[in-house]
A and B are shown apart, each in its own frame.
Chain A
Amino acid sequence: MFTLKDLKPGQKACVGAIAVEGLMRRKLMDMGVTPGVEIEVNKTAPFGDPIEVRLRGYALSLRKKDAANILMVQ
């Protein structure tokens, strides 16, 4: 099992599940992070966090701590 945080820039995988409750979960869903969607990591911020990912044709940035709650499947 790996998470979005484990992906390196240029790598992609599909979302398996979102392992966080509450507001963050809903917001991620609204932003299109739903089970099955393909996410590619674009880059890491200069100071190592947050990361920028690409999904559904747009770029989204999120912190590694939240990326660690997004479980991925190949």
Chain B
Amino acid sequence: MKFKVALAGNPNSGKTTLFNCLTGSNLYVGNWPGVTVEKKEGDLKNTSEKITLVDLPGIYSLAPYSMDEIVSRNFLLEERPDLIINIIDASNIERNLYLTTQLMELDCPMVGALNMMDVVQKKGVEIDADALEKLFGFPFVEISAQQETGIDGLIKMVERIVKNDKKQEFPKIFPEQINEIFKEFENLLQNKFPNVLPDYPRIFRAVKLIEKDDEVLSKIDDCSILLEDIEKTRKKIEVFSGNDVDSAIADYRYRFITATINLATRKTKENAQQFQEQLDKVLMNRYAALPIFFLFMFIIYYVSITLVGQVTIGGITWFIKDVLIVNIAAGLGSIGAADWIIALINDGIITGVGAVLTFVPQLMALFFFISILEDSGYMARVAFIMDRIFRHFGLSGKSFIPMVVGLGCSVPGIMATRTLENERERKLTAVLTPFISCGAKMPIYILMASVFFTTNQTLLVFSLYLISLIVVFSSGFILSKTWFKGADSGYLLEIPPFRLPKMKNTLTQVWERIKEFLVRAGTIIFAASVVLWFLQNFTLSLQMVQSADESILATFGKVIAPIFAPLGFGNWMASVALLTGIAAKEMIISTLSVLTAGQAGGLTLAISQIFTPVSAYSFVIFILLASPCMAALATMRKELGNWRDFFFAVAYQLGLAYMISLIIYQVGSRIFI
């Protein structure tokens, strides 16, 4: 028999870290609320049973507000797992147990995983897991997912409970009188409305109906009579509690929790959290906060682009050009391979794929820093700092997080918008996130910088990021008043404590991202380089070309090139590169390399002939702002939910990119002749 076990808990309580521990996977982890936006499945390891573990997006309660939270709730309600592992951030136990009191109403066996016990011990708090078990009616296991302690105990506990059919008895959380009112309401439902959500767990159904939960009410066809009874029940609760229903129910839950915590936890020493506070004082200082943020970003780009680049690019280029290509030509020549095969391999595949691989060390450095930023807890703080600014532009501080994720890749960036509750802000953020330059676009900036702007490489790249920020803000301002009009949602964001990123975690994430990059280099870019080489070396009548200008690609490129002429890059090679960039942004640089392969002086010389400094800048601005690659476009379509918004977004992105490049080239070429 195969068992299904759900991992449920508050945002940022360490679910994904635990999931990776329990299944041996390498899913994406970060230190801000809302890293996981989709449910993920994996098989529990180190067990003889067949157990599928499902990692759910974090939720604060079973009242769902945002898309990712609805995923969690629907799974728990509709798929009825055999067991819920309720992961609880034990260093924030009070707020975390609030969800626990709601999960207990789902009528499903539970195990409590008290996570971050290492932090709890450092804070000088003792938690008595046995006492908690007595109070809550289900077992608790002390673990630290990050330190990987207590995991075996948790697995054993899970095995024991899924095989045992003895029902867990959960205690009553509410006062006796309130329980009576619930019971009365339940009986009324059974007798008078037997068809109302019969499959839902009894207590959950009663509580959610009394709370007038929109999702639950929307599932009932005609609820006018039922609503009358609900109102009567609400009145009774209000009379008894002297409070409105929402406050009363939340208050009773928290009262139960406070009482249990007083019994089950003990403070052994005074809180020693001074380092956290000091760090916060500096990083969130009134005057220094923003400069510090930009300083961090500048250092990140300086180190990954300039410092790492200086060390690695020369060596890799030398290896590809002077070792690989030379030896392959010699080797294949000596076994009598045809010239065109040697050219295909060297000028097509190795040049195309190699152009992308050259930048792997720099991307590794970039991903390394982004991963550290994500794990440390700094992101939520920047969202907090930025909220005031973002609000003026129709966004919320929370929009900032998808954008930082987008620095790595737009796809997870766009997906991260699901944590925004407000639909208007969510869509707007999804449309704006591709304006933040992703890692795959970086190679082309570095290439152009190394040809035209040798003395100020970091500065040039940094100027691009500033421009993208300006575009994000001004577009937010314009679009929030036109296409994506509407009210702003509330902003309510948990600020997690700072955590020292764990090196193993950071390196795993860097590897996962680089792996994706390498896979693309080995598949899409490999195939496209071959196709490009053929298109470039044959004429329309399928003859080998004498000069590249007669090729199929050139013929085609020359048709579209005039579109880009006003922007300064009406060269057919540049146009073709932009087109192939739709498949993947790294393709732009591969395409230019393949198209100029075999020319004396190589890529650098060719580029300096095709572009001027001004048209090169206009070219990178166009790449920066124009619509993202296919994968990101597909994600954007999915998150926007309709074609109308999607086509608008693409038209907006393309139009804006064209306009800004046009201005830069037309103005720039008159100033710097």
Find the A residue at minimum CB distance from B288.
A46
CA distance A61 to B251 in the complex (A): 21
Q: In the assembled complex, how far is the CB of residue A62 from the closest CB belonging to chain B, in whole angstroms?
A: 5
| Contact-residue size bin, chain B (C-beta under 8 Å from the other chain) | 35 or more
Which residues of B sit under 8 angstroms from A43, Cβ to Cβ? 280, 284
Given contacts A23-B490, A62-B492, A32 and B94 within 8 Å (CB-CB): yes
B251–A36 CB distance below 8 A: yes
Interface flags, A34-74, vs B, CB<8A=1, else 0: 11110000010111111010001111111100100000000
Q: Are A52 and B495 in contact (CB under 8 A)?
A: yes
Q: Which of the 9-residue segments B59-67, B322-330, B473-481, B542-550 touches chain A?
A: B59-67
User: Could you say which of B60, B91, B496 contacts A30, with CB atoms under 8 Å apart?
Assistant: B60
The answer to whether B387 touches A27 (Cβ under 8 A) is: no
Give Cα A35–Cα B512 distance, bound, in whole angstroms: 46
Tell me whether A31 and B95 are in contact in the complex, defined as CB-CB below 8 angstroms, given that A45-B284, A60-B494, A62-B492 are known contacts. Answer: yes
Q: Kindly provide the distance from the CB of B381 to the nearest chain A CB, expressed in whole angstroms.
A: 9
Q: Does B669 reach chain A (CB closer than 8 Å)?
A: no
**C-alpha spacing A63/B497, complex, angstroms:** 20
Q: B254: which A residues are within 8 A, CB to CB?
A: 32, 34, 37, 56
Interchain CA distance A14-B384 in the complex, whole Å? 24
Binding site of A, secondary structure by majority: helix, strand, loop or mixed? mixed
Asked whether A26 is an interface residue with its Cβ less than 8 Å from the other chain, the reply is yes
Tell me whether B492 and A56 are in contact (CB under 8 A): no
Question: How close is A12's CB to chain B, nearest CB, in angstroms?
Answer: 16
Q: Are A50 and B495 in contact (CB under 8 A)?
A: no
Cross-interface CB contact of A61 among B61, B93, B493, cutoff 8 Å: B493
B388–A57 contact, CB under 8 A? no
Binary contact readout B384-428 vs A (1 if CB under 8 angstroms, 0 otherwise): 110111010000010000000000000000000000010000000
CA distance in complex: A60, B92 (Å): 12
Q: Are A45 and B93 also in contact (CB < 8 A) when A27-B490, A31-B492 are?
A: no
Q: CA separation between A47 and B388, bound complex, in Å?
A: 7
* Interface residue ranges of B205-264 to A (CB < 8 Å): 243, 246-247, 250-251, 254
Other A-B contacts than A46-B286, A57-B93, A61-B494, 6 sampled, CB-CB below 8 A, are A24-B490, A45-B385, A45-B388, A52-B495, A60-B492, A60-B495
A-B contact list, 18 entries, CB within 8 Å: A23-B421, A26-B63, A27-B65, A28-B492, A30-B63, A31-B95, A32-B254, A45-B384, A49-B387, A50-B387, A57-B95, A58-B94, A59-B494, A59-B495, A60-B494, A61-B495, A62-B491, A66-B490
Question: Which A positions have Cβ atoms within 8 angstroms of B?
Answer: 17-18, 23-32, 34-37, 43, 45-50, 52, 56-63, 66
Instruction: Give the interface of B toward A (CB within 8 A).
Output: 60-61, 63, 65, 91-95, 98, 243, 246-247, 250-251, 254, 280, 284-287, 289-290, 384-385, 387-389, 391, 397, 421, 489-497
A-B interface, 5 closest residue pairs, ranked by CB to CB distance from nearest: A29-B250, A47-B388, A30-B61, A59-B495, A56-B94
